[in-house]
Amino acid sequence: MSEQKSPGTGAEEPLAADGHYAIVPRRVSFDWDGTPLHWIPDEPTATHVINVLHLLLPAGERWFVKVFKEGLPLITDPVLRADVKGFMGQEATHSVQHAHVLDHLAAQRLDTAAFTRYVDFLFEKLLGERPPWGAPVPTQEWLRFRLAIVAAIEQFTAVLGDWVLHADGLDRAGSDEVMLDLLRWHGAEEVEHRAVAFDMYQHCGGKGLPRYARRVAGMTVTAPVMLYLWMWGTAYLIRHDPQLAGRFRYSLSEHNRAVAKGLLPTWREIGTAVPRYLRRSYHPSQEGSLRKAVEYLARSPGARAAAGAVGRAALG
C-alpha cells in the first residue's frame, strides 16, 4: 500500500516518515450564491457533462461508505484499516458537498429529483446490502462483488481527478472559481485515496484467479453503466435547463468540441483507464500524481478554510 513514483511525474511522491501517506478527511464547505447555472460561460454542454457528477455522487458515495462499513470487520491490516476509515470520511464529505450543488441547481429552477431517484434505486436497491430480487448469492460473495464495483468506479474517479487538476482549459474559459475549487478539491482527494478501494478489494476479495476474475467482472459491469448514466444524465440536464428552454439537445459533436477546447477529458483518457485496470499486475498508485494533488490541497480555498476552522476549534 505504499505510494509509488507515478509515471511521468518526474518526482518522488510525498510520504510520511514511516513511508506511508495518511488519508485525512477535510470538512470543507462552499458558498454557491454567486455561481451561475452555466458556470463555464457559454458552454452548456461542457457545464452539464461535468454536472452529472452532482447527480451520481451523493448517492454513490454514501453507498461506498455503507459497503466499506460492511467490509471493515474483515480487515486484518491496521494500516489498511486506517486508510479505509480515512477514505470513508472523505467520501462522506464528497457526498454532502455535491448534494449541496443539487440544492443550488434546484434554486435555479433545474430540479434533478426525477433523475436522482433512479440513481438512488441503483445504489440502494440493486446494489444494496442484500442481492436484488432474492438472488441466491452468498453474503460474502455479494460483498466481494460490491467491493469490486467500488474499486472499478474509483479507477475512473482517480483518472477524472487527475484530469481536472491539469485542466487549464477550464481556467481559460473563465469557469466559476467556486465550482472549480469544489472539483479540484474533490479530484485531489480522489488522487490521494486512489489505491484504497483497490487495496480493500484485494485484501477482502479472496485469492488467485477468482479474485482477479471478480475484479474483471466489476469493471465489465461498471464501465458501460457509467457511460450510459453519464450520457443520460447530460441529456437530462440539458433538456431541463430553464435557460435553454428546450432549444438545445445533447450531441456528440458539441461534446467533442468541448473536448477540443480542453473543457472535458478526451475519450482516450477515459477509455484507456479500462485496459490498464485489467492488467494482472496493475495497482492504482500508477494513476496521476499524489504530489500534484497535495500541492493543490495546500492552496485550495475550501481546503484551507476547513483547515483553519479545525485549528480555531483546537485552540478554543
User: What average pLDDT is seen over the chain?
Assistant: 91
- Quickly state the pLDDT bin for 310 (edges 50, 70, 90): very low
Using CA atoms, how far apart are residues 153 and 218, in angstroms rounded to an integer?
9
Query: Given the C-alpha cell 496493475, which residue does it identify?
Result: 282
pLDDT of residue 20: 79
For the chain, give the number of residues. 316
User: How far is the C-alpha of 310 from the C-alpha of 306, rounded, in Å?
Assistant: 6
Mean pLDDT of the 201-221 span: 96
The span from the CA of 54 to the CA of 58, in Å, is: 7
Burial (CB count <10 Å: 0-12, 13-18, 19+), residue 277: buried
Separation between Cα atoms, residue 123 and residue 270, nearest integer Å? 23
Rounded distance between C-alpha atoms, residue 187 and residue 163, angstroms: 8
pLDDT, tens only, 161-193: 999 999 999 999 999 999 999 999 999 999 999
Q: pLDDT for 251-297, tens place per residue?
A: 999 999 999 999 999 999 999 999 999 999 999 998 999 999 999 99
Residue 314 pLDDT more than 80?
Answer: no
